[in-house]
Structure 1
Amino acid sequence: MTGLLVSVRSASEARIALAAGVDVIDVKEPNRGSLGAASTETIAEIVQVVGARLPVSAALGELLDWLPANAAQLPAGLTYAKFGLAGCAKEANWPDLWRAAAGSLPASVRPVAVVYADHLAACSPTAEAIVAAAESIGAAAVLVDTFDKRGGNLLSHWTIDQARWLIDQAQSRKWPSVLAGSLTADAIAPLLPLAPSLIAVRGAACAHHRTGEIDAARVGQLVRLVNSSGLFRSTARPAHFSHGPEKIS
Protein backbone atom coordinates (compact mmCIF):
# COMPACT_ATOMS: atom_id res chain seq x y z
CA MET A 1 0.00 0.00 0.00
CA THR A 2 1.19 3.51 -0.77
CA GLY A 3 2.36 5.62 2.16
CA LEU A 4 2.61 9.35 2.81
CA LEU A 5 5.79 11.39 3.23
CA VAL A 6 5.41 14.90 4.61
CA SER A 7 8.21 17.45 4.48
CA VAL A 8 8.60 19.45 7.69
CA ARG A 9 10.80 22.38 8.61
CA SER A 10 10.73 22.22 12.43
CA ALA A 11 10.36 19.89 15.37
CA SER A 12 6.85 21.23 16.02
CA GLU A 13 5.80 20.35 12.47
CA ALA A 14 7.33 16.89 12.90
CA ARG A 15 5.12 16.33 15.94
CA ILE A 16 2.04 17.27 13.91
CA ALA A 17 3.00 14.85 11.13
CA LEU A 18 3.71 12.05 13.60
CA ALA A 19 0.37 12.51 15.33
CA ALA A 20 -1.45 12.41 11.99
CA GLY A 21 0.02 9.02 11.11
CA VAL A 22 2.36 9.75 8.20
CA ASP A 23 4.81 7.07 7.07
CA VAL A 24 8.03 9.04 6.50
CA ILE A 25 9.19 12.40 7.85
CA ASP A 26 11.26 14.50 5.47
CA VAL A 27 13.21 17.60 6.46
CA LYS A 28 13.57 20.59 4.18
CA GLU A 29 13.57 24.38 4.26
CA PRO A 30 11.02 25.47 1.64
CA ASN A 31 12.33 29.04 1.53
CA ARG A 32 15.54 27.65 0.00
CA GLY A 33 13.99 25.99 -3.03
CA SER A 34 12.56 22.65 -4.06
CA LEU A 35 15.16 20.67 -2.11
CA GLY A 36 16.23 23.44 0.23
CA ALA A 37 18.45 22.18 3.03
CA ALA A 38 17.47 22.89 6.62
CA SER A 39 20.21 23.66 9.11
CA THR A 40 21.97 20.67 10.64
CA GLU A 41 20.61 21.82 14.01
CA THR A 42 17.05 21.64 12.68
CA ILE A 43 17.65 18.21 11.16
CA ALA A 44 19.04 16.98 14.50
CA GLU A 45 16.05 18.35 16.43
CA ILE A 46 13.61 16.60 14.10
CA VAL A 47 15.52 13.32 14.21
CA GLN A 48 15.40 13.49 18.00
CA VAL A 49 11.63 14.11 18.01
CA VAL A 50 10.93 11.26 15.59
CA GLY A 51 13.33 8.82 17.21
CA ALA A 52 12.99 5.26 15.97
CA ARG A 53 9.29 5.58 15.16
CA LEU A 54 9.68 6.46 11.46
CA PRO A 55 12.39 6.83 8.84
CA VAL A 56 13.65 10.41 8.47
CA SER A 57 14.95 11.80 5.20
CA ALA A 58 16.54 15.17 4.54
CA ALA A 59 16.94 17.38 1.50
CA LEU A 60 20.54 18.56 1.23
CA GLY A 61 20.10 21.14 -1.52
CA GLU A 62 21.52 20.99 -5.01
CA LEU A 63 24.50 18.77 -5.76
CA LEU A 64 26.57 21.59 -7.26
CA ASP A 65 26.30 23.51 -3.97
CA TRP A 66 27.18 20.55 -1.72
CA LEU A 67 30.30 20.70 0.44
CA PRO A 68 31.40 17.18 1.44
CA ALA A 69 32.63 18.51 4.78
CA ASN A 70 28.98 19.15 5.69
CA ALA A 71 28.34 15.41 5.82
CA ALA A 72 30.15 15.11 9.15
CA GLN A 73 27.55 17.41 10.71
CA LEU A 74 24.57 15.20 9.81
CA PRO A 75 23.00 13.69 12.93
CA ALA A 76 22.90 10.03 13.81
CA GLY A 77 19.43 8.66 13.15
CA LEU A 78 19.00 10.22 9.73
CA THR A 79 18.01 7.47 7.31
CA TYR A 80 17.94 9.00 3.82
CA ALA A 81 19.36 12.08 2.10
CA LYS A 82 18.84 13.57 -1.32
CA PHE A 83 20.53 16.06 -3.62
CA GLY A 84 18.92 17.89 -6.51
CA LEU A 85 20.74 17.75 -9.83
CA ALA A 86 19.84 21.25 -11.06
CA GLY A 87 22.50 22.59 -13.39
CA CYS A 88 24.11 19.19 -13.82
CA ALA A 89 23.06 18.85 -17.47
CA LYS A 90 25.89 21.29 -18.19
CA GLU A 91 28.43 19.23 -16.24
CA ALA A 92 29.83 16.30 -18.21
CA ASN A 93 31.16 14.70 -15.03
CA TRP A 94 27.95 15.01 -13.01
CA PRO A 95 27.77 11.25 -12.31
CA ASP A 96 31.23 11.44 -10.73
CA LEU A 97 30.22 14.47 -8.66
CA TRP A 98 27.07 12.63 -7.57
CA ARG A 99 29.03 9.53 -6.55
CA ALA A 100 31.46 11.65 -4.56
CA ALA A 101 28.65 13.44 -2.73
CA ALA A 102 26.84 10.19 -1.96
CA GLY A 103 30.10 8.66 -0.81
CA SER A 104 30.63 11.53 1.63
CA LEU A 105 27.45 10.65 3.53
CA PRO A 106 27.68 8.70 6.79
CA ALA A 107 27.41 4.95 6.26
CA SER A 108 23.99 4.90 7.92
CA VAL A 109 22.52 7.49 5.52
CA ARG A 110 21.31 6.18 2.17
CA PRO A 111 21.10 8.41 -0.91
CA VAL A 112 17.85 8.94 -2.78
CA ALA A 113 17.99 9.65 -6.52
CA VAL A 114 15.99 12.75 -7.47
CA VAL A 115 14.51 13.31 -10.92
CA TYR A 116 13.16 16.74 -11.80
CA ALA A 117 10.06 16.38 -13.98
CA ASP A 118 10.71 19.90 -15.29
CA HIS A 119 14.31 19.01 -16.09
CA LEU A 120 14.66 21.68 -18.79
CA ALA A 121 13.78 24.41 -16.29
CA ALA A 122 16.20 22.87 -13.81
CA CYS A 123 18.90 22.21 -16.41
CA SER A 124 19.13 18.75 -14.86
CA PRO A 125 19.81 15.40 -16.54
CA THR A 126 16.87 13.45 -17.92
CA ALA A 127 15.00 10.85 -15.91
CA GLU A 128 16.55 8.11 -18.02
CA ALA A 129 20.08 9.37 -17.40
CA ILE A 130 19.52 9.73 -13.67
CA VAL A 131 18.02 6.25 -13.26
CA ALA A 132 20.91 4.79 -15.25
CA ALA A 133 23.48 6.51 -13.01
CA ALA A 134 21.65 5.97 -9.73
CA GLU A 135 22.85 2.42 -9.18
CA SER A 136 26.45 3.61 -9.23
CA ILE A 137 25.83 5.92 -6.24
CA GLY A 138 24.17 3.17 -4.23
CA ALA A 139 20.75 4.76 -4.50
CA ALA A 140 18.20 3.32 -2.10
CA ALA A 141 15.12 4.93 -3.69
CA VAL A 142 14.07 7.22 -6.52
CA LEU A 143 11.91 10.34 -6.25
CA VAL A 144 10.43 12.59 -8.91
CA ASP A 145 9.83 16.21 -7.96
CA THR A 146 9.40 19.59 -9.62
CA PHE A 147 12.14 22.20 -9.53
CA ASP A 148 10.15 25.37 -10.25
CA LYS A 149 7.20 25.48 -7.87
CA ARG A 150 5.62 28.25 -9.98
CA GLY A 151 5.37 25.95 -13.00
CA GLY A 152 2.56 23.65 -11.94
CA ASN A 153 2.49 20.25 -10.31
CA LEU A 154 3.99 16.94 -11.40
CA LEU A 155 1.16 16.28 -13.85
CA SER A 156 1.82 19.62 -15.55
CA HIS A 157 5.11 18.13 -16.74
CA TRP A 158 4.66 14.36 -16.78
CA THR A 159 1.93 12.08 -18.02
CA ILE A 160 0.57 9.19 -15.99
CA ASP A 161 2.55 6.88 -18.28
CA GLN A 162 5.79 8.65 -17.41
CA ALA A 163 5.05 8.29 -13.71
CA ARG A 164 4.27 4.61 -14.30
CA TRP A 165 7.60 4.23 -16.12
CA LEU A 166 9.53 5.56 -13.13
CA ILE A 167 7.69 3.26 -10.74
CA ASP A 168 8.42 0.30 -13.02
CA GLN A 169 12.10 1.25 -13.15
CA ALA A 170 12.18 1.43 -9.37
CA GLN A 171 10.41 -1.88 -8.89
CA SER A 172 12.79 -3.62 -11.29
CA ARG A 173 15.67 -2.46 -9.06
CA LYS A 174 13.83 -3.12 -5.79
CA TRP A 175 13.85 0.59 -4.94
CA PRO A 176 10.99 2.42 -3.28
CA SER A 177 9.43 4.97 -5.64
CA VAL A 178 8.30 8.41 -4.49
CA LEU A 179 6.03 10.80 -6.40
CA ALA A 180 6.20 14.48 -5.45
CA GLY A 181 5.91 17.87 -7.10
CA SER A 182 3.36 20.34 -5.68
CA LEU A 183 0.80 17.54 -5.44
CA THR A 184 -2.69 18.52 -4.32
CA ALA A 185 -5.40 16.04 -3.35
CA ASP A 186 -6.80 16.28 -6.88
CA ALA A 187 -3.40 15.47 -8.36
CA ILE A 188 -2.74 12.63 -5.92
CA ALA A 189 -5.96 10.75 -6.71
CA PRO A 190 -5.03 9.64 -10.27
CA LEU A 191 -1.54 8.63 -9.11
CA LEU A 192 -2.68 6.22 -6.41
CA PRO A 193 -3.65 3.37 -8.80
CA LEU A 194 0.00 3.32 -9.92
CA ALA A 195 0.94 2.10 -6.42
CA PRO A 196 4.06 4.17 -5.78
CA SER A 197 5.75 3.44 -2.48
CA LEU A 198 5.16 6.98 -1.26
CA ILE A 199 3.33 10.16 -2.15
CA ALA A 200 5.35 13.16 -0.92
CA VAL A 201 3.87 16.55 -0.05
CA ARG A 202 4.67 19.88 1.52
CA GLY A 203 2.35 22.55 0.15
CA ALA A 204 -0.77 20.35 0.34
CA ALA A 205 -0.12 19.87 4.05
CA CYS A 206 0.06 23.62 4.72
CA ALA A 207 -2.89 25.87 5.48
CA HIS A 208 -1.74 28.43 2.93
CA HIS A 209 1.54 28.19 0.98
CA ARG A 210 4.37 25.63 1.08
CA THR A 211 6.44 28.16 3.02
CA GLY A 212 3.75 28.40 5.71
CA GLU A 213 3.14 26.04 8.61
CA ILE A 214 1.70 22.58 8.12
CA ASP A 215 -1.86 22.06 9.33
CA ALA A 216 -2.92 19.01 11.34
CA ALA A 217 -6.32 18.74 9.66
CA ARG A 218 -4.82 18.87 6.19
CA VAL A 219 -2.22 16.25 7.04
CA GLY A 220 -4.95 14.01 8.42
CA GLN A 221 -6.98 14.37 5.23
CA LEU A 222 -3.94 13.46 3.15
CA VAL A 223 -3.23 10.41 5.29
CA ARG A 224 -6.80 9.20 4.74
CA LEU A 225 -6.60 9.87 1.01
CA VAL A 226 -3.35 7.98 0.57
CA ASN A 227 -4.55 5.14 2.78
CA SER A 228 -7.40 4.70 0.30
CA SER A 229 -4.79 3.35 -2.11
CA GLY A 230 -5.38 0.01 -0.41
CA LEU A 231 -8.59 -0.14 -2.45
CA PHE A 232 -6.59 -0.37 -5.66
CA ARG A 233 -5.05 -3.55 -6.96
CA SER A 234 -1.48 -3.56 -8.17
CA THR A 235 0.33 -6.27 -10.12
CA ALA A 236 3.45 -5.72 -8.02
CA ARG A 237 3.85 -4.74 -4.40
CA PRO A 238 5.81 -1.51 -4.05
CA ALA A 239 9.01 -1.55 -2.06
CA HIS A 240 8.91 0.30 1.25
CA PHE A 241 11.18 2.69 3.07
CA SER A 242 12.82 1.15 6.11
CA HIS A 243 15.19 1.94 8.95
CA GLY A 244 17.83 -0.50 7.67
CA PRO A 245 21.38 0.72 8.32
CA GLU A 246 23.03 -0.65 5.22
CA LYS A 247 23.70 1.30 2.07
CA ILE A 248 22.43 -0.49 -1.02
CA SER A 249 25.18 -0.90 -3.58
Structure 2
Amino acid sequence: MMRLLVSVRDLDEALAAAQAGADLIDLKEPADGALGALVPEHIAQIVSALRLRHPQLRISATVGDLPVGEQREILRRVARVASCGVDYVKVGLWPVPSAPGAARGLVDALAGCPANIVPVLVVDGGVDQSLVAHALEYASFPALMVDTAEKRRGSLLERLPLASLAAFVEAVHAGGALAGLAGSLRAEDAPALRALAPDFAGFRGAVTRGARTAVLDPRRVRLLRRRLAAGTCAPLAAAA
Protein backbone atom coordinates (compact mmCIF):
# COMPACT_ATOMS: atom_id res chain seq x y z
CA MET A 1 0.00 0.00 0.00
CA MET A 2 1.23 3.47 -0.86
CA ARG A 3 2.32 5.42 2.21
CA LEU A 4 1.34 9.00 2.90
CA LEU A 5 4.15 11.47 3.58
CA VAL A 6 3.03 14.79 5.06
CA SER A 7 5.38 17.77 5.32
CA VAL A 8 5.07 19.77 8.55
CA ARG A 9 6.76 22.88 9.87
CA ASP A 10 6.36 22.62 13.66
CA LEU A 11 5.45 20.33 16.54
CA ASP A 12 1.72 21.08 16.48
CA GLU A 13 1.49 20.21 12.81
CA ALA A 14 3.59 17.07 13.29
CA LEU A 15 1.34 15.76 16.05
CA ALA A 16 -1.81 16.65 14.11
CA ALA A 17 -0.57 14.90 10.96
CA ALA A 18 0.45 11.83 12.93
CA GLN A 19 -2.91 11.64 14.68
CA ALA A 20 -4.71 12.04 11.35
CA GLY A 21 -2.96 9.02 9.84
CA ALA A 22 0.22 10.14 8.09
CA ASP A 23 2.68 7.29 7.62
CA LEU A 24 5.77 9.47 7.31
CA ILE A 25 6.35 12.89 8.84
CA ASP A 26 8.60 15.18 6.82
CA LEU A 27 10.08 18.20 8.62
CA LYS A 28 10.64 21.32 6.54
CA GLU A 29 9.81 25.01 6.24
CA PRO A 30 7.61 25.53 3.16
CA ALA A 31 8.08 29.30 3.24
CA ASP A 32 11.78 28.82 2.46
CA GLY A 33 11.45 26.86 -0.77
CA ALA A 34 10.74 23.39 -2.06
CA LEU A 35 13.07 21.83 0.51
CA GLY A 36 13.27 24.65 3.03
CA ALA A 37 14.94 23.51 6.25
CA LEU A 38 13.96 23.82 9.89
CA VAL A 39 16.67 24.71 12.39
CA PRO A 40 18.20 21.60 13.99
CA GLU A 41 16.94 22.52 17.46
CA HIS A 42 13.35 22.45 16.23
CA ILE A 43 13.94 19.18 14.36
CA ALA A 44 15.27 17.55 17.52
CA GLN A 45 12.29 18.80 19.56
CA ILE A 46 9.77 17.43 17.08
CA VAL A 47 11.58 14.11 16.76
CA SER A 48 11.66 13.67 20.54
CA ALA A 49 7.93 14.30 20.87
CA LEU A 50 7.00 12.02 17.98
CA ARG A 51 9.14 9.17 19.29
CA LEU A 52 7.23 9.30 22.57
CA ARG A 53 3.72 9.51 21.13
CA HIS A 54 4.00 7.80 17.74
CA PRO A 55 7.08 5.53 17.86
CA GLN A 56 5.99 3.64 14.73
CA LEU A 57 6.28 6.66 12.45
CA ARG A 58 9.25 7.28 10.21
CA ILE A 59 10.59 10.84 10.18
CA SER A 60 12.51 12.72 7.52
CA ALA A 61 13.94 16.23 7.41
CA THR A 62 15.42 18.40 4.69
CA VAL A 63 18.71 20.30 4.61
CA GLY A 64 17.42 23.28 2.61
CA ASP A 65 17.51 24.50 -0.96
CA LEU A 66 21.23 24.47 -1.72
CA PRO A 67 22.99 24.34 -5.09
CA VAL A 68 24.53 20.94 -5.75
CA GLY A 69 27.97 22.56 -6.01
CA GLU A 70 27.97 23.49 -2.33
CA GLN A 71 29.03 20.02 -1.27
CA ARG A 72 30.84 21.02 1.90
CA GLU A 73 27.85 22.94 3.28
CA ILE A 74 25.43 20.21 2.22
CA LEU A 75 27.47 17.53 3.98
CA ARG A 76 27.73 19.70 7.08
CA ARG A 77 23.96 20.11 7.17
CA VAL A 78 23.42 16.42 6.54
CA ALA A 79 25.47 15.60 9.63
CA ARG A 80 23.60 18.14 11.76
CA VAL A 81 20.16 16.99 10.65
CA ALA A 82 21.06 13.32 11.07
CA SER A 83 22.24 14.02 14.63
CA CYS A 84 18.69 15.14 15.49
CA GLY A 85 17.51 11.52 15.32
CA VAL A 86 15.54 11.50 12.07
CA ASP A 87 15.25 8.31 10.06
CA TYR A 88 16.01 9.96 6.72
CA VAL A 89 17.76 13.12 5.54
CA LYS A 90 16.41 14.55 2.27
CA VAL A 91 18.87 16.30 -0.03
CA GLY A 92 17.84 18.07 -3.22
CA LEU A 93 19.55 17.37 -6.53
CA TRP A 94 19.02 20.56 -8.52
CA PRO A 95 19.81 20.48 -12.26
CA VAL A 96 22.76 22.60 -13.41
CA PRO A 97 22.69 22.84 -17.22
CA SER A 98 26.11 24.52 -17.30
CA ALA A 99 27.65 21.76 -15.15
CA PRO A 100 25.85 18.50 -15.87
CA GLY A 101 28.26 16.50 -13.72
CA ALA A 102 27.65 18.55 -10.56
CA ALA A 103 24.65 16.54 -9.42
CA ARG A 104 26.53 13.28 -10.00
CA GLY A 105 29.41 14.60 -7.92
CA LEU A 106 27.04 15.35 -5.06
CA VAL A 107 25.55 11.86 -5.32
CA ASP A 108 29.07 10.44 -5.06
CA ALA A 109 29.73 12.51 -1.93
CA LEU A 110 26.40 11.62 -0.32
CA ALA A 111 26.94 7.91 -0.93
CA GLY A 112 29.81 7.98 1.55
CA CYS A 113 27.78 9.50 4.38
CA PRO A 114 26.76 7.30 7.33
CA ALA A 115 23.25 8.85 7.44
CA ASN A 116 20.21 7.42 5.64
CA ILE A 117 20.02 9.93 2.80
CA VAL A 118 17.15 10.25 0.35
CA PRO A 119 18.23 12.10 -2.80
CA VAL A 120 15.40 14.26 -4.15
CA LEU A 121 15.61 15.00 -7.86
CA VAL A 122 14.14 18.41 -8.70
CA VAL A 123 12.38 17.63 -11.97
CA ASP A 124 10.72 20.82 -13.24
CA GLY A 125 12.56 20.25 -16.51
CA GLY A 126 12.01 16.49 -16.57
CA VAL A 127 13.43 13.40 -14.89
CA ASP A 128 17.13 12.81 -15.51
CA GLN A 129 16.99 9.04 -15.82
CA SER A 130 20.78 8.83 -16.14
CA LEU A 131 21.13 10.53 -12.74
CA VAL A 132 18.61 8.08 -11.29
CA ALA A 133 20.67 5.20 -12.66
CA HIS A 134 23.86 6.72 -11.24
CA ALA A 135 22.35 7.02 -7.76
CA LEU A 136 21.12 3.45 -7.93
CA GLU A 137 24.63 2.22 -8.62
CA TYR A 138 25.24 2.77 -4.93
CA ALA A 139 23.55 0.63 -2.29
CA SER A 140 23.66 3.62 0.04
CA PHE A 141 20.27 5.21 -0.52
CA PRO A 142 17.13 3.64 0.97
CA ALA A 143 14.87 5.71 -1.30
CA LEU A 144 14.85 8.19 -4.16
CA MET A 145 12.28 10.91 -4.71
CA VAL A 146 11.26 13.42 -7.34
CA ASP A 147 9.85 16.85 -6.50
CA THR A 148 9.30 20.23 -8.15
CA ALA A 149 10.58 23.68 -7.28
CA GLU A 150 7.88 25.82 -8.94
CA LYS A 151 4.88 24.87 -6.84
CA ARG A 152 2.49 27.34 -8.47
CA ARG A 153 2.77 25.70 -11.86
CA GLY A 154 0.58 22.78 -10.88
CA SER A 155 0.80 19.16 -9.89
CA LEU A 156 3.76 16.97 -10.78
CA LEU A 157 1.32 14.70 -12.62
CA GLU A 158 0.22 17.56 -14.86
CA ARG A 159 3.70 18.81 -15.61
CA LEU A 160 5.54 15.59 -16.43
CA PRO A 161 4.51 12.71 -18.67
CA LEU A 162 3.11 9.83 -16.64
CA ALA A 163 5.33 7.50 -18.65
CA SER A 164 8.41 9.33 -17.37
CA LEU A 165 7.23 9.03 -13.77
CA ALA A 166 6.37 5.37 -14.28
CA ALA A 167 9.88 4.77 -15.64
CA PHE A 168 11.33 6.46 -12.57
CA VAL A 169 9.32 4.28 -10.19
CA GLU A 170 10.18 1.13 -12.13
CA ALA A 171 13.90 1.94 -12.23
CA VAL A 172 14.06 2.69 -8.50
CA HIS A 173 12.23 -0.51 -7.63
CA ALA A 174 14.51 -2.50 -9.92
CA GLY A 175 17.46 -0.95 -8.10
CA GLY A 176 16.16 -2.19 -4.75
CA ALA A 177 15.17 1.19 -3.30
CA LEU A 178 11.88 2.84 -2.40
CA ALA A 179 10.36 5.37 -4.82
CA GLY A 180 8.66 8.58 -3.75
CA LEU A 181 6.71 11.20 -5.71
CA ALA A 182 6.03 14.78 -4.62
CA GLY A 183 5.43 18.16 -6.21
CA SER A 184 2.20 20.09 -5.57
CA LEU A 185 0.30 16.81 -5.57
CA ARG A 186 -3.45 17.11 -5.01
CA ALA A 187 -6.05 14.84 -3.49
CA GLU A 188 -7.53 14.50 -6.99
CA ASP A 189 -4.26 12.88 -8.12
CA ALA A 190 -4.94 9.81 -5.97
CA PRO A 191 -6.15 7.47 -8.77
CA ALA A 192 -3.15 8.27 -10.97
CA LEU A 193 -0.79 7.88 -8.04
CA ARG A 194 -2.27 4.49 -7.25
CA ALA A 195 -1.65 3.46 -10.86
CA LEU A 196 1.97 4.67 -10.73
CA ALA A 197 2.41 2.76 -7.45
CA PRO A 198 5.25 4.62 -5.73
CA ASP A 199 6.06 3.48 -2.22
CA PHE A 200 5.08 6.87 -0.84
CA ALA A 201 3.65 10.16 -2.03
CA GLY A 202 4.44 13.51 -0.42
CA PHE A 203 1.97 16.31 0.23
CA ARG A 204 1.94 19.82 1.70
CA GLY A 205 -0.41 22.23 -0.06
CA ALA A 206 -3.15 19.60 -0.37
CA VAL A 207 -3.32 19.24 3.43
CA THR A 208 -3.37 22.92 4.39
CA ARG A 209 -6.13 25.50 4.71
CA GLY A 210 -5.05 27.35 1.59
CA ALA A 211 -1.50 27.88 0.31
CA ARG A 212 1.29 25.43 1.15
CA THR A 213 2.51 27.93 3.75
CA ALA A 214 -0.88 27.92 5.51
CA VAL A 215 -1.71 25.89 8.61
CA LEU A 216 -2.05 22.13 8.22
CA ASP A 217 -5.63 20.82 8.31
CA PRO A 218 -5.86 17.31 9.83
CA ARG A 219 -9.24 16.75 8.16
CA ARG A 220 -7.52 16.96 4.79
CA VAL A 221 -4.86 14.50 5.91
CA ARG A 222 -7.56 11.99 6.85
CA LEU A 223 -9.38 12.42 3.55
CA LEU A 224 -6.16 12.15 1.58
CA ARG A 225 -5.26 8.92 3.32
CA ARG A 226 -8.64 7.48 2.37
CA ARG A 227 -8.27 8.60 -1.23
CA LEU A 228 -4.84 7.05 -1.61
CA ALA A 229 -6.20 3.79 -0.25
CA ALA A 230 -9.51 3.68 -2.09
CA GLY A 231 -9.44 6.27 -4.89
CA THR A 232 -12.60 7.96 -3.67
CA CYS A 233 -13.46 11.33 -5.19
CA ALA A 234 -15.31 12.88 -2.27
CA PRO A 235 -14.83 16.67 -2.10
CA LEU A 236 -12.37 18.04 0.41
CA ALA A 237 -15.19 19.87 2.20
CA ALA A 238 -16.64 16.50 3.14
CA ALA A 239 -13.64 15.52 5.23
CA ALA A 240 -14.65 14.41 8.71
Q: Shorter-normalised TM-score: what interval? A: 0.7 to 0.9
Aligned match of 1:154 in 153, 156, 159?
A: 156
Give the counterpart letter for 2:78 in structure 1.
Answer: A
2:85 is equivalent to residue 77 of structure 1: yes
2:111 is equivalent to residue 111 of structure 1: no
Paired residue for 1:95?
104
Q: How far apart are the structure 2 equivalents of 1:183 and 1:27?
A: 17
Matches within 5 A, 1:129-208: 129-136=130-137, 138-208=140-210
Paired residue for 1:246?
none
When the two chains are superposed, the root-mean-square deviation of aligned CA atoms in Å is 1.9
TM-score scaled to structure 1, two decimals?
Answer: 0.81
Matches within 5 A, 1:12-91: 12-51=12-51, 52-61=55-64, 62=66, 63-65=68-70, 67=73, 68-74=75-81, 75-91=83-99
Question: How much does 1:171 deviate?
Answer: 1.2
Q: How far apart are the structure 1 equivalents of 2:120 and 2:131?
A: 8
Instruction: Give the SS at the match of 2:94.
Output: coil
CA deviation vs aligned residue, 1:53-81 (integer Å, no higher than 9, x gap): 21111121233456133334223421111
Relative distance call for 1:135 and 1:194 in structure 2 (3 A) is closer
Q: How far apart are the structure 1 equivalents of 2:227 and 2:48?
A: 28
Give the counterpart letter for 1:60 in structure 2.
Answer: V
Q: How far apart are the structure 2 equivalents of 1:160 and 1:64?
A: 30
Question: How much does 1:155 deviate?
Answer: 1.8
Instruction: Give the SS at the match of 1:71.
Output: helix
Where does structure 2 lack aligned partners over 5 or more consecutive residues?
Answer: 232-240
Paired residue for 1:123?
none
Instruction: Give the SS at the match of 1:90.
Output: coil
Where does structure 1 lack aligned partners over 5 or more consecutive residues?
Answer: 121-125, 230-249
2:223 is equivalent to residue 221 of structure 1: yes
Q: Which moved more, 1:220-229 or 1:92-101?
A: 92-101
Q: How far apart are the structure 2 equivalents of 1:114 and 1:27?
A: 14
Give the counterpart letter for 2:205 in structure 1.
Answer: G
Contact 1:9/1:42 (<8 A) preserved: no
CA deviation vs aligned residue, 1:206-247 (integer Å, no higher than 9, x gap): 011101110111111111111226xxxxxxxxxxxxxxxxxx
Q: Which moved more, 1:79-88 or 1:172-181?
A: 79-88
Question: How much does 1:41 deviate?
Answer: 1.4
Question: How much does 1:87 deviate?
Answer: 4.5
Q: How far apart are the structure 1 equivalents of 2:217 and 2:198?
A: 24
Q: How far apart are the structure 1 equivalents of 2:96 and 2:137?
A: 16
Question: How much does 1:187 deviate?
Answer: 2.0
Q: How far apart are the structure 1 equivalents of 2:29 and 2:221?
A: 18
Question: How much does 1:90 deviate?
Answer: 2.7
Instruction: Give the SS at the match of 2:105.
Output: helix
Relative distance call for 1:226 and 1:171 in structure 2 (3 A) is same
TM-score scaled to structure 2, two decimals?
Answer: 0.84
Q: Which moved more, 1:26-35 or 1:94-103?
A: 94-103
